Structure 1
Amino acid sequence: MRRLYFVTHSIDDAERLVTNLQHAGLSEWRIHGLSQDDAALYHHHIHPAHLFQRYDLIHLGERGAMIGFLVSLLWATAIHYANVIPGSFGIAETAFTIMFFTLFGAWTGGLVGITRINYRIARFQQDIAEGACLILVDAHRRQERQIKSWVTKAHPDITLAGSSSTFTNPFSRAVKKAPESPHSPKII
């Protein structure tokens, strides 16, 4: 699956886009909106972006789990070879230590992530603060080109701002930027 990011000038433009995408056969559950006013999205029949799309909970939770796993391996190796607790640090204790540190890292990363804007939508915050609406469309790869083409033809005032995978990459920092077109309107 791919996630397409469209920036509209107003909530009314967003509603027209969402309605047309639904009439074209795209499920309403694969289209989400992000604006300053979630109530306006609701009144315009646009599903607001959910917690995992708004915040970096999953992204930083995965990073935390990886860091916790690495720390647990270092800890277990150090305890084993230092022989701090002679004969009592076996396989069960090692497995518990690895599990504990990994889960603690995921929990800590998730706590940090819930306080941060999702790394994929952070660059749209200025546009949203200025009244724009961000529409997130999840599409299969085979539909991606067709949706991009159709939206740019049917809605020339709506900007395709980028695309990314729907899967979270804990090593990734930013969403792929859409190529600039001389006909694409800019939100200033």
Structure 2
Amino acid sequence: MRRIYFLVPSIGVTKRVVDELLLARVEEKHIHVIAKRGTPLEELPEASLLQKSDFIPAVQQGMALGGSTGVLAGLVAVVLPPASTVVAGGILLATALAGAGIGAWVSGLVGMSVGNRRIKEFEDAIEAGHFLVLADVPSDRVDQIEERVKQHLPEVEIESTEPKIPAFP
């Protein structure tokens, strides 16, 4: 899946973009709209905290860093006291898992409080009253969907496409 960013000038055009995406068989759960705080979105699919924050990338980074730290701590624990191979493997596995879990948890908390880095570049436009539509589409359909939206709604700016998105947001 890849995420396409559409910058849209008004709520009416935003509704037409969402309708066009639905007609292109993009499921509603894969369409997210971000607007200025306090702007009513009516029946449009509002972006959740997962799309508005850096939670997912922070968890991924924290898990990798915490797991690496846990492996290093486990290696130190195995080397210092004399331990059997079975116990050493258990210690190494336990510290790696504990490090990954703690790293993911702490990073997730930090990521929830930080705005999405990809959306920061659109903050000025959003504050000016524009709407940002995020659409998660299959990689092989990106060009087709961009073409379809541009053909029917030339006033919509297709800003960028993320190379890939996590499978679970």
The Cα of 1:128 is off from its aligned counterpart by: 0.9
* TM-score of the two chains, using structure 1 as the length reference: 0.79
- Whole-Å Cα distance in 1 between the matches of residues 100 and 117 of structure 2? 22
Distance 2:18 2:136 in 1: 12
1:166 CA displacement: 4.3
TM-score for both structures, normalised by structure 2: 0.87
| Deviates most, 96-105 or 21-30 | 21-30
Per-residue deviation, 1:39: 5.9
Classify 1:23/1:104 alpha carbon distance in 2 versus 1 (closer, same or farther; 3 Å): same
Greater helix content: 2
Deviation of 1:18 after TM superposition, in Å, equals 1.1
The answer (yes or no) to whether the contact 2:3–2:165 under 8 Å persists in 1 is no
Give the 5 Å matches for 1:75-154: 75-83=73-81, 86-87=82-83, 90-154=88-152
List gaps (5 residues or longer) in structure 1.
Answer: 169-188
Q: Are the aligned partners of 1:138 and 1:166 in contact in 2 as well (CA < 8 Å)? A: no
> Between Structure 1 and Structure 2, how many residues are aligned?
164
* Runs of 5+ unmatched residues, structure 2: none
Superposition CA RMSD, Å:
1.9
For 1:31, the aligned partner's letter is I
Q: CA deviation at 1:129?
A: 1.4
- Kept in 2, the 8 Å contact 1:38–1:48? The answer is no
Stretch moving more, 90-99 or 72-81: 90-99
Q: Which moved more, 1:48-57 or 1:93-102?
A: 93-102
Counterpart-to-counterpart distance in 2, 1:79 and 1:25: 54
Aligned partners of 1:8 and 1:14 also within 8 Å: yes
Aligned equivalents of 1:164, 1:74: Cα separation in 2:
33
Rounded Cα–Cα distance in structure 2 between residues aligned with 1:71 and 1:153: 51
**Aligned partners of 1:23, 1:91: CA distance in 2, in Å?**
54
Partner SS state of residue 90, structure 1: helix
Amino acid at match of 1:4: I
Which residue of structure 2 aligns with residue 175 of structure 1? none
Task: State, as a whole percentage, how many aligned pairs show the same letter.
Answer: 28
